[in-house]
Amino acid sequence: MTTIDQLSGSRRAAILVLRLGVERAGPLLKGLHKDEIAKIVAEVASLGQVDIDLANEVVDQFLLETEKEALPTGDVTLAREFLEAAFGGRIAREIMSKIDETAPLVPFQFMDHLEPEDIAVNLSVEHPQTIALVLSHLTFDRSAEILAFLPKELVPSVGARLATLDRVASTTLHAVEEGLKTRFASTLEDRFGDMTGGVDSLVEVLGLVDKNVEEMIFDGLGDLDADLVAEIRAKMFIFDDLMLLDDRQIQLVLRYVDSNRLPLALKGVKNELKDKILGNLSSRAQENLRDEMDLLGSVRMVDVEEAQSEVLASVRSLEESGELVINRGGNDFVS
């Protein structure tokens, strides 16, 4: 079995990216040099199944290193705010429990891993007093989300006990928490079983980064593994890839696209693609589209990318429904 000491730095980083999840991984990549990004994403693509204990060990090591960086500030409140913004409440609380040794461990912290619906399902078989005890130690927003999923007939009893809940001895609180950990064991196992890397995971990560970072990744990967780049691009579809569609497919997409957003989506794109889109519109529609693009003047790139994402969402929807079949192979692919 592979140990953490046998892992290269880039493989540890890849496991960390996978463990944090795609929503948090994208922003993390932005602060790295393109060569570093390329090495990490190449590792993500080749990870395969990752043992959960090994992944947790990698995260623990990362947290300890982060802890050392945060301590010199001497400002616990600022450190907590930074960590919550960067990693979310769960990991921030884990780090802060190590940074501030006087801070008590947060009861029922293991529930931070779970969706509100999963928590509600498991708690619904407990006594209302136990449910109230749990909710009283969670954030208000979190408690409200869980209450929304509890059986309606149970909510009044839980609410009444929340309103009259007295202070609970730490020994009792610990006993309740340990008992619930047993009940939640199977849910936690399903939620955080062995993870799988691979190209699909990498594609998800790439879907969350902006265009500049995406191109940096592909530039770096091209030097490492041209075949891997081809495989990744075969699973991705970016705005320039509309050139892959024939005229009939372009016309189909245009029927589903918000015509008011199309002028913004086409700002700054290659002339070949712009001509392809315009060529599949009526003369009147072409004229209107050109006029609207001219009227827009200078626009923010972030707004253009948002409009393009809306167009791509229509493409993905059509592809998922089977109405659109995209040929991603061959020399016709435009990168």
Mean pLDDT of 237-260: 88
Report which of residues 85 and 133 the model is more confident about.
Answer: 133
Q: What is the CATH number of domain 239-335?
A: 1.10.220.30
Q: Is the pLDDT of residue 199 over 70?
A: no
pLDDT of 249 reads: 92
Range name among 134-143, 191-200, 276-285 with the lowest pLDDT average: 191-200
Q: What is the pLDDT of the chain when averaged over all its residues?
A: 75
Q: 113-124: per-residue pLDDT in tens?
A: 678 888 898 898
Where does residue 277 rank: exposed (0-12), middle (13-18), buried (19+ CB within 10 A)?
buried
Q: Is 273 helix (H, G, I), strand (E, B) or coil?
A: helix
Give per-residue pLDDT as tens, 19-37: 777 566 666 666 677 677 7
Same CATH fold assignment for domains 109-191 and 239-335 = yes
The two three-digit tokens of residue 96, written as one number:
């802060």
pLDDT reading at 101 higher than 80: no
* Cβ–Cβ under 8 Å, residues 117 and 149: yes
Is 122:187 a contact under the CB 8 Å cutoff?
Answer: yes
> What distance in Å separates the CA atoms of residue 11 and residue 42, rounded to the nearest whole number?
9
The residue-averaged pLDDT of 101-129 equals: 77
Four-point Cα dihedral 113, 118, 122, 125, nearest 10: 150
Q: For residue 234, is pLDDT > 70? A: no
From the CB of residue 237, how many other CB atoms can be counted at a distance below 10 Å?
18
Domain ranges for the chain: 109-191, 239-335
291 pLDDT more than 70? yes
Q: Just give the CATH number of 109-191.
A: 1.10.220.30
Each residue's pLDDT tens digit, 141-174: 778 888 888 888 888 888 878 777 776 676 777 8
Measured distance CA(138)–CA(112) in Å, rounded: 9
pLDDT at 159: 81
What's the pLDDT at 192?
47
Cβ–Cβ contacts within 10 Å for residue 242, how many? 22
Task: Give me the helices (H) in the chain, please.
Answer: 9-20, 22-29, 34-46, 52-70, 76-87, 89-99, 116-123, 128-136, 140-149, 155-163, 170-191, 199-206, 211-224, 226-235, 247-256, 262-265, 271-278, 283-296, 301-321
